[in-house]
């Protein structure tokens, strides 16, 4: 886990909570100020120093929790400050500076597990194919595919509803937008490119439904097909 530690202490994270140096996490220290929110993209969780200025710590915790790149927040607070804690601060858990390595590690692990459990699923899996909306990456058997933006959006639309038949017009609206003036053959061209990048073993996952459009079928799910379906053809 990569931790962003927000503190004004000159000694950084280890001066704030000494046991953190015994844990197997990477650390990045930044001051408690709005500019530090730009670093959220690189961290898995935020540790906020609430041992000195409670108002400043509350503001930092709240900002990290409501930011568009919201990250789970762990407050480090003295026992004397516990009475001032409020749920409105937006923190997920707290420890004292004297926390043992075992306690700190457990709280960080649970923090990550709760955050992962509450996050919306933004990756579609169809057989060996994984379409990850957060990273804009498609992996086939764990290996990334080099797709253009439109190829990714087209495959994402199909993967979000396996076995559903999409008309060419619907795919044009979903991927290219209502104001696109090109013909539906644009979809055929992109499907042909996608099949080439999926390779001989997986190209038949994209099935052509003659006279209608396309659907994505998990490999091995269909043992036979009707006369209207043709995995390797793009003709209407």
The string of DSSP letters for 127-141 reads TTEEEETTTTEEEET
Per-residue pLDDT at 159 exceeds 50? yes
Fold entry, domain 2-118: Rossmann fold (3.40.50)
3 state DSSP class of 146: coil
Confidence of residue 197 (pLDDT cuts 50, 70, 90): very high
Read off the pLDDT of each residue in 189-214 and give the average, rounded to a whole number.
94
As a dihedral over the C-alpha atoms of residue 163, residue 166, residue 167, residue 172, rounded to 10 degrees, the angle is -150
Q: 61 phi and psi, to 5 degrees?
A: -65, -45
Top-confidence residue, 44 or 147: 147
**Mean pLDDT of all residues in the chain?**
84
Q: What would the mean pLDDT of 212-216 be, rounded to a whole number?
A: 94
- Calculated CA dihedral for residues 149, 152, 153, 159, nearest 10 degrees: 180
- 3-state class (DSSP) for residue 123: strand
End-to-end CA distance of the chain: 50
Ranges for all domains in the chain classified under CATH 3.40.50.2300: 2-118
Please give the pLDDT value at position 42.
74
Residue 61, classed as helix, strand or coil, is helix
The span from the CA of 25 to the CA of 108, in Å, is 10
pLDDT at 225: 46
Q: Is 7 helix (H, G, I), strand (E, B) or coil?
A: coil
Fold of the CATH domain 123-230: Arc Repressor Mutant, subunit A (1.10.10)
Distance, in Å, from the CA atom of 111 to the CA atom of 72, rounded to the nearest integer, reads 7
CB 107 within 8 A of CB 95: yes
Range(s) for CATH 1.10.10.10 in the chain? 123-230
Whole-model pTM: value is 0.52
3-state helix, strand, coil in the chain (%, to 5): 40, 20, 40
Angle in degrees, 0-180, between the axes of helices 185-198 and 149-159, rounded to the nearest 10? 90
């Amino acid at each position: 886990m990569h931790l962003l530690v927000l503190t004004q202490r000159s000694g950084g994270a280890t001066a704030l909570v000494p046991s953190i140096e015994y844990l197997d996490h990477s650390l990045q220290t930044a001051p408690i100020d709005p500019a530090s929110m730009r670093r959220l993209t690189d961290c898995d969780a935020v540790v906020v120093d609430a041992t000195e200025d409670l108002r400043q710590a509350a503001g930092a915790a709240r900002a990290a929790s409501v930011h568009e790149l919201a990250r789970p927040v762990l407050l480090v607070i003295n026992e004397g400050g516990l009475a001032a804690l409020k749920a409105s601060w937006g923190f997920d858990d707290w420890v004292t500076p004297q926390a043992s390595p075992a306690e700190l590690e457990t709280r960080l692990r649970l923090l990550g597990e709760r955050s992962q459990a509450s996050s919306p699923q933004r990756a579609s899996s169809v057989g060996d194919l994984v379409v990850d909306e957060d990273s804009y990456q498609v992996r086939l058997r764990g290996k990334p595919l080099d797709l253009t933006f439109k190829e990714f959006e087209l495959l994402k639309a199909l993967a979000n509803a396996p076995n559903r038949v999409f008309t060419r017009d619907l795919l044009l609206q979903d991927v290219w937008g209502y104001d696109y003036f090109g013909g539906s053959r644009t979809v055929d061209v992109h499907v042909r490119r996608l099949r080439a990048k999926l390779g001989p073993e997986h190209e038949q996952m994209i099935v052509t439904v003659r006279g209608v459009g396309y659907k994505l079928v998990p490999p091995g799910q269909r043992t036979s097909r009707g006369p209207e379906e043709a995995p390797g053809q793009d003709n209407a």
